[in-house]
Amino acid sequence: MIIKNLSVRFGAFTAVDDVTLEIPDGGVVGLVGESGSGKSSLARAVCGLVPHTGSVEGARRVQMVFQDPYASLNPRMTVGRTIAEGAGPKEVERLLGLVRLPAELAGRYPRELSGGQRQRVAIARALGGNPGLLVADEITSSLDVSVQGAVLNLVRGLRDELGLTMLFISHNLAVVRYVADVVAVMHHGRLVEVGPTEQVVGEPAHEYTRALLAAVPRLRG
């Protein structure tokens, strides 16, 4: 699928400025940028949640997983009903299995789950919509590191198992590098660099990408 000349404007402010980005079938494109760079607006436009100009071609059904697993599940609905909303009640068990959660969890309410479990439920709900494209918007940034690893592994596993096409958004280059095949760097509403992950991380062409890379905290230096 391809995003063509997409722009999002809020009044006089242009959040996304003429972005064209191809997401190959079965591939994971990582979108990095800082807060205010327009990456979340781009995600919401691709999902049809904000008005935009330009087009999104070739995406059958788009589903999204949100940043905050505490706000993205209806607190009054059980896990089972939440997942069944898109997929139907017969699929609940299979989808819970896909995100490596026990089937007993179907009867629980979100408040009884940990942050990592909630995020898995949100992923299961999105998968239930049988997405042609899955948009993951900062899905690990409100999780603890020990849980983040497991969710990232799950994302990679799902891609391999289901051939999922994904737009994976994060401000953390190390996280994006781990899951994405292609990295797109966004700055002030524009894409400043797009390329295969190892190339963007190894030989960044744009000055802003270099600044982002230099700022990643690391233990071994």
Partner 1 sequence: MTGWSRRNAPGVAGAVIVAAMAVLAVVGPPIWGDEAVRIDAAAILQGASPGHPLGTDNLGRDLLARVLVAGRYSLLLALAATAIGAVAGIVLGTLPSVLPRRAARLATGTVNALVAFPGLLLAMFTAVVTGLGARGAVLGIGAAIAPGFARLTQTLAATVANADYVSAARMLGVPRRRILTRHVLPNIAEPLILNLTQALGGALLGLAGMSFLGLGVQPPDFDWGRLLFDGFPRIYVTPEVALGPAAAVALAGIGFNLLGDALARAAARTSVVRERTPAPPVADGAGEPDPGAVLEVRDLTVTFPGGVTPVRQLSLTVAPGEIVGLVGESGSGKSLTAAAIGGLVPYPGTVTYAALRLGGRDVATLSDKELGTALAMVFQDPLAALNPALKVGGQLAEVAIVHEGADRAEARRRAVDRLGHVHLPEPERRARQHPHELSGGMRQRAVIAMGLMGTPRLIVADEPTTALDVTVQRQILRLLREVVEETGAATLFISHDIAVVGELCDRVVVMYAGRVVEELPAGRLADGAAHPYTKALIASLPDLDTDRSTPLAGIAGTQPAPGQIGLGCAFAPRCPLATARCESERPELVAHGPGQRVACWEVK
Positions touching partner 1 (CB under 8 A) are 34-35, 47-49, 62-64, 66, 68, 71-77, 82, 85-86, 114, 116, 122, 125-126, 128-129, 144-150, 152-153, 156, 171-175, 177-178, 197, 201, 211-221
CA angle 125, 128, 131 (to 5 degrees): 105
102 touches 113 (CB < 8 A): no
3-class secondary-structure state, position 17: strand
Q: Where are the strands (E) in the chain, listed by range?
A: 2-10, 13-22, 28-32, 53-57, 62-65, 133-137, 166-170, 182-187, 190-196
Closest CB 181 distance from partner 1, rounded Å: 10
Closest CB 71 distance from partner 1, rounded Å: 5
Closest CB 129 distance from partner 1, rounded Å: 5
Closest CB 51 distance from partner 1, rounded Å: 12
Closest CB 38 distance from partner 1, rounded Å: 13
Residue with smaller CB distance to partner 1, 88 or 163? 88
- For the chain, helix (H) and strand (E) counts, in that order, are 8, 9
| Structure-block tokens of residue 172 | 């953390």
Residue with smaller CB distance to partner 1, 73 or 105? 73
Residue with smaller CB distance to partner 1, 7 or 40? 40
What is the per-residue burial (b if ≥16 Cβ within 10 Å, else e) of 79-100? bbebbbebbeeebbeebbebbe
Residue with smaller CB distance to partner 1, 18 or 149? 149
The total of other beta-carbon atoms located within 10 Å of residue 123's CB is 24
Residue with smaller CB distance to partner 1, 22 or 85? 85
Residue with smaller CB distance to partner 1, 16 or 32? 32
Closest CB 205 distance from partner 1, rounded Å: 17
30 touches 182 (CB < 8 A): yes
